Copies of this chain bind each other. A is one copy, B any other.
Amino acid sequence: MNAELIAVGTEILLGDIVNTDAQLISQGLSELGINVFYQTVVGDNPARLRHVIETARDRADIIITTGGLGPTLDDLTKETLATVFGKKMALHQPSLDRLTEFFNKIGREMTKNNEKQAWLPEGCTVFTNLWGTAPGCAFEAYGKHVLMLPGPPRECNPMWKECAMPYLYKLAGGCIVSHNIRVFGLGESSMEHILHDMMEKSKNPTIAPYAKTSECFARVTAKADTTEECEKLLEPVVREIVELLGDDVYGVDVDSLEQVVGDGLRAKGLKLAVAESCTGGLLSKRITDIPGCSDYYLGGVCSYANEVKMNVLGVRKETLDTVGAVSAETAEQMAAGVAKALGADIGVGITGIAGPGGGTEDKPAGLVYISVWYDGKFFTRKTNSSFGRDRVRMQAASTALDLIRRHIL
């Protein structure tokens, strides 16, 4: 079975809000094993809404709409769907009672237009709205399934999970399961190059490559009648990919490098401190994005000025005077210095030129040295990227985490 999502709302077309309902529902449909081939957004315009519904009716088994269920004149979703699918509208007394009670409770008069929300397609399954006023609903007609949900995410989200997903679960049968293999140190195109033959020949599970800022991942997705059968199909394929990509794989179904490194540090009982120059606190921010990081993270020093590098971290003046602040030597002294200053087992030092200004011919913007100190040893890497300040910094912070992962954990 395949589904099409239709969001009804001029505010999305104007860019006032982003269509997060579509993401929520798509994730849920993916879990249910229902394919989504199209998502459409259309405004509060009867002719265009009808056109979109008719198109969806001809190509999808399930139509799920969000928005346009409210009391105002431009809320037209129910009426238009009923027309296209040959349904009459009928007053749903329990919904009207709920509305009346709601307005009594908040001490406001229920204006006449609110009654509109209790008129629903005849014979539909009503999704009671415990989170707002407009009920949702579902019906079947001409062999198609139609579901309507309210637009505001605080109503759409719980109604989707508590009413619509259980409704669809009964229809769906079958099952879909995905695993994500997360990779750092390999570009998307290189990863695809390595996986190319597997991707070509593998139909179930399918293998798809994705890029994220400074990293990438491969998603492997299987369909079968049960979760167990899906996992059985997935296991050898995931194992083969992990073998092919080797040490560049930092985890399967993990959230992020900072999560993986954090879990590893906690498991080994190691304490971390970081010293950042060009990343300016980004690495520290990413480490502390993870709740509970105080188990292994002591803190950091952002040493933007050379005086801070010398006075707080103990970087030697001769080093700064001879090889300069942007050098492997400075990165290493920062790494060892912050570990000492904060009493940590592992120290990180990052120094470079984030850009766009500040570069020279010898040391162009984008050049960064990253060093990790542990147990008297340094693991140091030089990176060079030309994607602008944000990505230079992101790449440098990720590289530091990756050095810890590869060499210490």
Partner of A152, one of B107, B211, B281: B211
Main secondary structure of the interface of A (DSSP, over half): mixed
Interface set, chain A 252-289, CB cutoff 8 A to B = 274, 276, 278-285, 287-289
Determine whether the beta carbon of A288 is less than 8 Å from that of B302: yes
Bound: A70/B280 CA distance, A: 31
Contacts of A304 in B (CB 8 A): 288, 293-294, 297-300
Interface centre among A38, A284, A389, by most chain B C-beta atoms within 10 angstroms, is A284
A15 touching B23 in the complex, CB below 8 Å, given contacts A108-B190, A154-B390: yes
A302 touching B280 in the complex, CB below 8 Å, given contacts A30-B15, A114-B189, A291-B356: no
Contacts of A391 in B (CB 8 A): 131, 154
Contacts of A25 in B (CB 8 A): 15
Bound: A37/B213 CA distance, A: 31
Contacts of A283 in B (CB 8 A): 281
Bound: A102/B22 CA distance, A: 36
**Binary CB contact string for chain A from 346 to 377 against chain B (1 if under 8 A, 0 otherwise):** 00000000111110000000000000000000
Determine whether the beta carbon of A37 is less than 8 Å from that of B43: yes
Determine whether the beta carbon of A111 is less than 8 Å from that of B189: yes
Bound: A312/B22 CA distance, A: 46
A236 at the interface (CB under 8 A from B): no
A210 touching B16 in the complex, CB below 8 Å, given contacts A72-B192, A303-B299: yes
A166 at the interface (CB under 8 A from B): no
A-B complex: 5 closest residue pairs judged by Cβ atoms: A280-B288, A281-B284, A15-B27, A15-B26, A281-B281
A343 at the interface (CB under 8 A from B): yes
Interface set, chain A 176-203, CB cutoff 8 A to B = 178, 187-190, 192-193, 196, 199
The smallest beta-carbon distance between A347 and chain B, in angstroms, is 13
- Closest B residue to A113 using CB positions: B189
- Closest B residue to A114 using CB positions: B189
Partner of A13, one of B36, B281, B358: B36
A209 at the interface (CB under 8 A from B): yes
Q: Which of A80-88, A240-248, A380-388 contacts B (4 or more CB under 8 A)?
A: A380-388
The smallest beta-carbon distance between A304 and chain B, in angstroms, is 4
Contacts of A70 in B (CB 8 A): 188-189, 211
A141 at the interface (CB under 8 A from B): no
Listed A/B pairs (6) with beta-carbon separation below 8 Å? A14-B178, A17-B23, A152-B213, A281-B282, A281-B284, A299-B301
Determine whether the beta carbon of A384 is less than 8 Å from that of B211: no
**Binary CB contact string for chain A from 111 to 143 against chain B (1 if under 8 A, 0 otherwise):** 101100000000000000011100000000000
Determine whether the beta carbon of B284 is less than 8 Å from that of A102: no
A41 at the interface (CB under 8 A from B): yes
